[in-house]
């Protein structure tokens, strides 16, 4: 902001009245004596006033700069709620082929959160201040949603990968709940260290370790810990061909043995599930997708025509895991007309005092519990009969 300078009087605060000259000199000078003079002002007081004015302007400049400078906070607010057994702009969110499906009704909404700021899009102070004031928004440190050093583009790509994994896990969880068999395996998707980068390659599929079948991540960890510091022999499938490689391990923070590789679960399902969701990332829709798959693969309308919403990551075995931004998701669900909300049990502390009026929040720890709550409420059971977060 440009400073405004108000000039001092003729003599820096000193004012003089001079009697008019009857006959001024030819050069225009007035040599008449002063007839009245105001008392002189102390020069020190004038200097003090200038210093105070300068300090005031400096404070205003600092405040203005602080309000415009980018911050390291992000603001979370409610995003849209999307019906997983419905359509968005004519595209079904979930479509199953290769198996008999049944009609559905009501809504099983997955909920989302808008995240403003972070990375190369940092928010100015006033946007963060409004987030603090608004009870329906939360301000959190940037690092909680965007790890330090990660760009916005990289985070978006990671969220897309997590959504893809979530969709696969939701299918596995639904089939596990319905006792429909399928096969699974672990595949190498990257390297955390250089430890085994010469022995393994991205896309290698892990089959056995030291002669024991690898059924899941836990079975792999168990065999690695049993081998200790000794090398292990991995049976893998590479480019469609079986082979065996020798790998070593390093000790993790808690003493567990680690290969230093990044793994992703892959599945062979007896049916195909296509997901029509775009521009949404992260793992938190897993439970609601799993419920939608169960609903379509079972006779009867699971919701009884009622409006449910919820959130939560899911494991292949059907465990519901906590997520972020649940307070905003409650707001989004209520705004879309939901009556009941399925919340991960481990998120209940985040829900306390944040539940919108008229929304029943049901606490669930597994897909089986979530399914039982939906089917029970649809059949007329009192929501209060189920564990609650609110």
- Structural element, H or E, at residue 152: helix 152-177
Rounded Cα distance, 355 and 347, in Å? 12
Report DSSP letters for 310-347, one per residue.
Answer: E--EE-TT-BEE--S-HHHHHHHHHHTT-SEEEEEGGG
Please give the structure tokens belonging to residue 153: 């583009």
Beta-bridged to residue 91, according to DSSP, are: 88
Residue 371 Cα distances to 102, 173, 354, 362, angstroms: 16, 12, 24, 11
Rounded Cα distance, 210 and 231, in Å? 10
Beta-bridged to residue 263, according to DSSP, are: 188
Rounded Cα distance, 390 and 74, in Å? 26
Please give the structure tokens belonging to residue 290: 């799993």
Residue 374 Cα distances to 83, 165, 212, 252, angstroms: 15, 25, 40, 41
Local confidence pLDDT in tens for the 390 residues of the chain: 444 343 333 333 333 333 334 444 433 433 344 444 445 555 555 555 555 555 565 555 555 545 555 667 777 788 899 999 998 888 899 999 999 999 999 999 999 988 777 665 666 766 777 667 777 777 777 766 666 666 666 666 666 666 778 888 999 999 999 999 998 888 998 898 999 999 999 999 999 999 999 988 888 999 999 999 999 999 999 999 999 999 999 998 888 999 999 888 788 899 999 998 776 767 889 999 999 999 999 999 999 999 999 999 999 999 999 998 899 999 999 999 999 999 999 999 999 888 999 999 999 999 999 999 999 999 999 999 999 986
Rounded Cα distance, 50 and 3, in Å? 13
Taking Cα atoms as reference points, which of 280, 275, 286, 348 lies closest to residue 315? 286
pTM of the complete model: 0.70
Rounded Cα distance, 274 and 84, in Å? 12
Q: What is the dihedral of CA 206, 190, 172, 94, to 10 degrees?
A: -140
Secondary structure of residue 214 in the 3-state scheme: coil
Do 258 and 268 contact (CB within 8 A), yes or no? no
Rounded Cα distance, 314 and 295, in Å? 16
What pLDDT was estimated at residue 84? 96
């Amino acid at each position: 902001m440009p400073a405004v300078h108000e000039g001092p009087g003729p003599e820096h605060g000193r004012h003089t009245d001079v009697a008019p000259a009857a006959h001024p000199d030819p050069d225009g000078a007035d040599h008449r004596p002063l007839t009245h003079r105001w008392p002189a002002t102390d020069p020190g007081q004038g200097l003090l006033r200038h210093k105070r004015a300068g300090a005031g302007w400096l404070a205003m400049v600092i405040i203005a700069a602080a309000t415009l400078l980018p911050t390291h906070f992000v603001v979370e607010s409610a995003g849209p709620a999307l019906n997983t057994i419905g359509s968005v702009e004519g595209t079904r969110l979930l479509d199953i082929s290769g198996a008999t499906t049944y009609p559905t009704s009501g809504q099983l909404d997955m909920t989302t959160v808008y995240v403003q700021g972070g990375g190369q899009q940092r928010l100015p102070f006033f946007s963060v201040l409004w987030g603090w004031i608004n009870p329906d928004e939360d301000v959190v440190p940037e690092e909680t949603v965007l790890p330090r050093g990660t760009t916005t583009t990289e985070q978006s790509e990671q969220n897309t990968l997590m959504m893809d994994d979530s969709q696969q896990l939701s299918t596995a969880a639904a089939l596990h709940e319905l006792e429909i068999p399928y096969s699974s395996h672990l595949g190498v998707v990257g390297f955390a260290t250089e430890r085994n980068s010469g022995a393994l390659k991205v896309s290698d599929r892990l089959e056995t370790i030291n002669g024991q079948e690898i059924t899941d991540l836990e079975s792999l960890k168990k065999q690695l810990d049993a081998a200790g510091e000794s090398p292990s022999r991995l049976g893998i499938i590479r480019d469609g061909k079986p082979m065996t490689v020798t790998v070593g391990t390093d000790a993790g923070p808690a003493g567990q043995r680690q290969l230093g590789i990044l793994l992703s679960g892959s599945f062979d399902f007896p049916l195909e599930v296509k997901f029509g969701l775009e521009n949404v990332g992260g793992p938190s829709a897993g439970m609601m997708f799993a419920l939608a798959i169960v609903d379509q693969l079972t006779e009867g309308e699971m919701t009884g025509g009622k409006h449910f919403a919820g959130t939560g990551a899911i494991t292949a075995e059907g465990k519901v895991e906590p997520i972020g931004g649940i307070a905003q998701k409650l707001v989004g669900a209520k705004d879309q007309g939901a009556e009941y909300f399925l919340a991960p049990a481990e998120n209940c502390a985040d829900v306390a005092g944040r539940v919108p009026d008229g929304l029943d929040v049901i606490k669930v720890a597994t897909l089986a519990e979530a399914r039982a709550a939906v089917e029970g409420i649809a059949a007329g059971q009192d929501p209060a009969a189920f564990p609650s977060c609110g």
